[in-house]
Chains A and B, each alone.
Chain A
Amino acid sequence: MKLIPGAVVTGGTSLAYKTGSWRDQKPIIDRELCKSCGICEEVCPDDSVKAQMGIYSIDYEYCKGCGLCAYECPAGAIQMIAEQR
């Protein structure tokens, strides 16, 4: 693809790079324990927790497995398990 003079880049194009490949552990949300407080979504540095009508889920395409969501969850609803590849 032809370069843009000045190396100007359209915003949002980082979505083409899937940081999920960086993981060696992944968060699993236990729906029974989850209280939909939204803290997991709030503390994710990679914007990888998505909410849809009160249901929180992990976007595994980008989640780097840092563990912040699991650590900060007040309900203990998120476990980090080893990534299988």
Chain B
Amino acid sequence: MTTVSLNNKESLFVSGHRACHGCGMALAVRHILQATGKDVIVVTPTGCLETFTSPYGFSPWRVPWIHHLFENGPAIATGIAAALKAQGRSEERVVTMGGDGSTFDIGFGALSGMLERGEDVLYICLDNGAYMNTGGQRSGATPFGASTTTHPAGKCSTGKPQSKKDLPAIIAAHGVCYVATASVAFLEDLRRKVRRAMEFRGPRYIQVDTPCPSGWGFSPELTLELGRLGVNCGLIPLFEMEEGKIVSVRKIKRKVPVADYLKAQGRFGHLFSNDAGMAEVPRLQESADNNIAKYALEATAAKGSSVG
């Protein structure tokens, strides 16, 4: 049975995978592959995406795909890119899709090496802010104040005391040609950024906010709603950089208070149940406001409409 997606193209990421109901990551992958087309070799380090797509005998990947280990996605991608070059296979491109645990933490060294060497790999981080595959432990990408299983809120804790690692800035500091942030709430914007990234050769990075109903504690039909709230409160700035310069940002048409985003998720529930928790919310609001200022996200009538 042929499965067809929008534009009547055959799906490259088919049904039958074992993602949770409403998984933001699965949705993102469908659109990423729609944008890249079929001539890609995909690498996925260990994590949710790998696990829900690879029980032996059941693969949804209609593109060549490899999962090796947790900390070496960028190095496996490097090896594939080197082989393609050696064999003169210039039409096939390498895309790595990894979670935040692998990208921000355990695979960070390999990622930095890949960027520094200038490998021709598009690295996409599907960011759900924790080690969700293993039950929701804290990672370097977990936002400030979130409760995770290794840093839970409790009588003596209001969840994660550190801010989310600013990985896009670190990637940009490597001097790579394309760095962007995207969200599963804005699918055309995500597809556009993937298509744009594929026009370059060399290391490229896209970080996609992929809300996680199971891990963040919300009902699965709200995945895109959570994505919109995250972007529209300013905590998830959407921008695009080429050769080190910002070329586009997604303006916020109607700004929402950070509390609206936080209240919609179980992992931030403790911030509204006692004084200690409530005292942390302004820090998140400040962080959001700083993003809005830094990336000029506030839409103004004179400056024209948002991109994407």
Q: A residues bordering B, Cβ < 8 Å?
A: 7, 9-19, 22, 38, 41-48, 50-51, 59, 61-62, 64-68, 70-72, 80
Contact = CB atoms under 8 A, between A and B. Distances in A.
A67 B16 contact: no
Given A14-B59, A18-B16, A46-B19, 9 more contacts: A9-B56, A11-B63, A12-B62, A15-B14, A19-B16, A43-B224, A51-B4, A68-B224, A71-B225
Contact of B58 (A16, A43, A59): A16
B56 A43 contact: no
A6 B262 CA distance: 44
Which has the most chain B C-beta neighbours within 10 Å: A14, A41, A65, A72? A14
Nearest to B25: A45
B53 interface: yes
A47 B56 CA distance: 21
Interface in B32-79: 53-65
A61 B1 CA distance: 12
B34 to A, nearest CB: 10
Contact of B24 (A9, A14, A45, A50): A45
A12 B17 CA distance: 10
Contacts of A16: 16, 57-58
Contact of A50 (B3, B17, B61): B3
Given A45-B30, A65-B21, A68-B224, A14 B65 contact: no
Contacts of B3: 15, 47, 50
Which has the most chain A C-beta neighbours within 10 Å: B15, B58, B65? B15
28 contacts: A9-B54, A9-B57, A10-B59, A14-B15, A14-B16, A15-B15, A15-B16, A16-B58, A19-B16, A41-B5, A43-B187, A43-B224, A45-B19, A45-B23, A46-B26, A47-B5, A47-B14, A48-B15, A50-B3, A51-B8, A59-B15, A62-B16, A66-B21, A68-B27, A68-B221, A68-B223, A71-B221, A71-B224
Contacts of A59: 15
B18 interface: yes
B58 A14 contact: yes
Contacts of A13: 57-59
Contacts, number: 113
Given A42-B187, A47-B15, A50-B3, A22 B21 contact: yes
B233 to A, nearest CB: 19
Contacts of A66: 21-22, 213, 220-221, 223
A9 B58 contact: yes
A8 to B, nearest CB: 10
Given A62-B15, A66-B221, A42 B6 contact: yes
A14 B17 contact: yes
A47 B59 contact: no
A14 B6 contact: no
Contact of B21 (A10, A14, A50, A64): A64
A59 B224 CA distance: 21
A44 B15 CA distance: 10
A70 B62 CA distance: 28
A17 B224 contact: no
Contacts of A19: 15-18
Nearest to B225: A71
Contact of B219 (A12, A44, A48, A67): A67
A16 B213 CA distance: 26
Which has the most chain A C-beta neighbours within 10 Å: B21, B26, B65, B213? B21
